[in-house]
Amino acid sequence: MSGIVSYGYYVPRYRIKTETIAAQWGKCDDKIEKSLKVHEKAVAGLDEDVATMSYAASTMAFGDIKETKQSIGAVFIGSETFPYAVKPVSTSIAEWLDIPHGYLALDTQFACKAATGALIAAHGLVASKQIDHALICAADRANAKPNDALEYAAGSGANAWVLGNENVLAEIEGWSSYSSDTPDFWRRSKQDYPSHAGRFSGEPGYFQHLLSASNNLLTKLNRTAENYTYAAFHMPNGAFPLKAAKSLGFTVDQLKASYIVPQLGNSYAASALMGLVGTLEVAQPGETIFFCSYGSGAGADAISFKVTKEILKRRRVFAETLQQKTYIDYATYLRFMGMI
Amino acid sequence: MKNNVIGYYSTKFGELWERSLDDLLREALHGVLAETQLEAAQIDAIFLGNMLGGIVERSLLLSAHISEILGTNIPVYRVESACASGGMAFQMANDYLKANSGKTVIVIGAEKMTDVSPGEITEALSAAASPEEQDAGLTFPGVYALMAQYYLAKYGYTEEHLASIAVKNHDHGALNEKAHFQRAIDLNQVLGSQYVAFPLKVLDSSPISDGAAAVIMTNVDTLINNHKSVQVLAAETATDTISLSKRENLDELKATRIAGDKAFQTAGIARSDVQVMEVHDCFSIAEIFALEDLGFWTKGQGGKLAKEMSTHINSGNNLIVNTSGGLKAAGHPVGGTGIKQIGEVYLQLTGQANKRQVNNVKHGLTHNVGGSGGVAVVSILGV
């Protein structure tokens, strides 16, 4: 069965605290933290972008399966902060990784679910045996207009996923997608910062799509939340995934391993999948993971995973590495993000 | 026969993202016709209160929209008087009926506010402010905040006195299934909320809401006799300077005082005859001003009585204020507010206010303010 053969991630070491941003704008940090449930976020450094972070994550993914590079038939990367408006990043990453040139390359955008659509498409190619392996990267170096509500969570990070049919560590049992023309968040070309419609991105956006995709998948697989060991959802802030999980019948315990937003913020396209990285660190063979991303605009991709014994060979240390961090002040944050 | 309100319908108030201004008009118009079992053909004219259609929705000539919705060709008059647009439409409809016997009209107030950003809606609302004071940076919260600062300092009150108004109105809103906010809040939540303009905080302030409300008013005897009817005893209005710097007193809204006095004179009843009121609590301080300027509370006593929650539905007192939740909890779709106020009093007077029904109600008053006191409309209804 097609699924995840290997994976990797990259989280920049720099962090800025919610209280640091709040103090800059004369806001009550305790109220913002209580409302958003985000304590700090990861910030890409001056020399880190979607391409470099994806490369670092991919390098980890290929760490002990370097020979797989020879049979990669697709390299997809999803992001909303590509360094180029026109020029693929997928080809750069493939080149740096020494992947032979007979691959299909795609850069995809769909706000925070830019990569999970690519992952489902790649799964189709792999499961149908049109290609042997696929590499999917999810990365963002998300910024927000200073003093915008988004500023407290918009973070940086990347992860990479190798899909295949053999030696699979997490089988893809099924998926369901839900999409509509719901403009809750957008960034027009040549604009530096995204715009959003405030609370509109909540009920009509995140919850309508994520809950619909999730419920559709549960129905499709004839399961309920109780049938899963873990759950991972897109994390635009700390409050939304908790509410979504509760609404679907998942417990805090099921969500715990994936719930990394209070420490890392929202790495946009990498956010939900970073939750999957957190879950795979603790998942045992035979356990199941319910996953659902959300992308503004809007859509959600729900995927059901079943973990195999292969996880014991390629489990990545995650939580511990997140402790390697350096706090920065607001001026440094602005400089790193190219805002001054 | 006197003018009577014979039916009321309101959409839910709130962030109605899937509804356009025309959707809201459609629901309220058809809703009030269904409520009264009347046909559009029985309506002689329509009065519409709407402030921001031209600015926010880029939508003028709403008269033609209403014609299209109802399939009629009757006169439709659009009234703009900032946040008192609804109340002013009602006042004009009342005068129209006084001048024309055997007529039936719909008075509808509607506003669509949540399709634009908070900055854009604040700018749009500021179109009703004093140009000079606006240039100096004063928004409506700023204007009311200055008046609140003056009031608290002059009479020795604190922010807690203001906060009590919001707590009371949320208690009432929790009983109103059409309210924007249907939950109770406590004093600590109000006092702990973020400042908008000192001393006013987020929870001292009414929200930005979408919504529409409509009543049918008639002087046709048969219709009055066949419906649950409430007589319009008075609908009076007064204006005043919009510039705070030109006001005689900073702790009163003169337009409220003048319109209130005229209304009681026209109605021929005493203040002690009124059991329920819907007043314009766009900010907590505004409800205190309203009760004082309408002559129910002595000037300067409002802070104390507000803190005692003397007009709470559970107070046991004879005067209950803002049973709908007021602008604070029921929501404030600016053009719709004045008609919702009339409708709420209509429900109270006809015993249809469900969980928030006040017992033995004979007279009710509504108080709708535009532009921080540039205009006020006071109406009195009775059974």
Alpha carbon of B36: minimum distance to chain A alpha carbons (Å): 34
What does pTM read for this prediction?
0.85
Q: Do A199 and B15 touch (CB under 8 A)?
A: yes
* Beta-carbon separation of A28 and B15 below 8 A: no
Task: Tell me the per-residue pLDDT of B147-183, one tens digit each, with 9 for 90 and over.
Answer: 999 999 999 999 999 999 999 999 999 999 999 999 9
B99 touches chain A (CB under 8 A): no
Interface check for A27 against chain B (CB to CB < 8 A): the answer is yes
* Shortest Cα distance, chain B CAs vs residue A295, angstroms: 19
Q: Output the DSSP codes for A287-319.
A: -EEEEE--BTEEEEEEEEEEE-TTHHHHPPP-T
The partner residue sitting opposite B17, judged by closest CB among A28, A31, A204, is: A204
Note the ipTM here: 0.73
Digit-by-digit pLDDT tens for chain B (383 residues) are: 699 999 999 999 999 999 999 999 999 999 999 999 999 999 999 999 999 999 998 889 999 999 999 999 999 999 999 999 999 999 999 999 999 999 999 999 999 999 988 889 988 998 899 999 888 888 899 999 999 999 999 999 999 999 999 999 999 999 999 999 999 999 999 999 989 999 999 999 999 999 999 999 999 999 999 999 999 999 999 999 999 999 999 999 999 999 999 999 999 999 999 999 999 999 999 999 999 999 999 999 999 999 999 999 999 999 999 999 999 999 999 999 999 999 999 999 999 999 999 999 999 999 999 999 999 999 999 99
Q: Determine the Cα angle at B58 with ends B52 and B61, to 5°.
A: 80
The shortest CB-CB distance from B194 to any of A31, A197, A200 is to A31
B208 contacts in chain A (CB < 8 Å): none
Q: Does A256 touch chain B (CB under 8 A)?
A: no
Q: Which long-range contacts (CB under 8 A, 24 or more apart) does A316-325 make?
A: A316/A7, A316/A8, A316/A9, A316/A60, A316/A277, A316/A280, A316/A281, A317/A281, A318/A9, A318/A277, A318/A278, A318/A281, A319/A278, A319/A281, A321/A11, A322/A11, A322/A260, A322/A263, A322/A264, A324/A13, A325/A13, A325/A14, A325/A15, A325/A42
- Is any Cβ of chain B less than 8 angstroms from the Cβ of A313? no
Minimal CA separation from B199 to chain A, in Å? 16
Any CB–CB contact under 8 A between B359 and chain A? Answer: no
The partner residue sitting opposite B17, judged by closest CB among A27, A28, A200, is A200
Q: How close B117 gets to chain A, by Cα (Å)?
A: 7
DSSP string, B21-46: HHHHHHHHHHHHHHHHT--GGG--EE
Please answer yes or no on whether B117 and A198 come within 8 Å at the CB atom: yes
- Encode pLDDT of B172-230 as tens digits: 999 999 999 999 999 999 999 989 999 999 999 999 999 999 999 999 999 999 999 99
Q: Which of B65, B161, B170, B332 is catalytic?
A: B332
CA–CA separation, B294 and B379 (whole Å): 11
Angle between helices B254-267 and B284-293 (to 10 degrees): 50
Residue A249 touches chain B, beta carbons under 8 Å: no
| Residues within 8 A of A (CB atoms), B 287-346 only | none
CA of B114 to nearest chain A CA: how many angstroms apart? 9
- List the alpha helices (DSSP H) in chain B: 21-36, 62-70, 85-99, 118-125, 131-135, 140-155, 159-173, 187-192, 221-226, 254-267, 284-293, 302-307, 326-330, 334-349
Q: What is the pLDDT along chain A (340 residues), one digit of tens a residue?
A: 899 999 999 999 999 999 999 999 988 888 899 999 999 999 999 999 999 999 999 999 999 999 999 999 999 999 999 999 999 999 999 999 999 999 999 999 999 999 999 999 999 999 999 999 999 999 999 999 999 999 999 999 999 999 999 999 999 999 999 999 999 999 998 899 999 888 888 999 999 999 999 999 999 999 999 999 999 999 999 999 999 999 999 999 999 999 999 999 999 999 999 999 999 999 999 999 999 999 999 999 999 999 999 999 999 999 999 999 999 999 999 999 999 9
| pLDDT recorded at residue B118 | 86
Contacts of B15 in chain A (CB under 8 A): 199-200
Residues B340 and B3 sit within 8 Å (Cβ to Cβ): no
Closest residue in B to A200 (Cα) is: B17
Are the Cβ atoms of A200 and B15 closer than 8 angstroms?
A: yes
Name chain B contacts of A31, Cβ cutoff 8 Å. Answer: 192, 194
Asked if B15 is an interface residue toward chain A (Cβ–Cβ < 8 A), one would say yes
Residues 107-146, chain A: which have Cβ within 8 Å of B? none
Distance CA(A126)–CA(A90), nearest Å, equals: 18
Cβ of B194 within 8 Å of Cβ of A27? The answer is yes
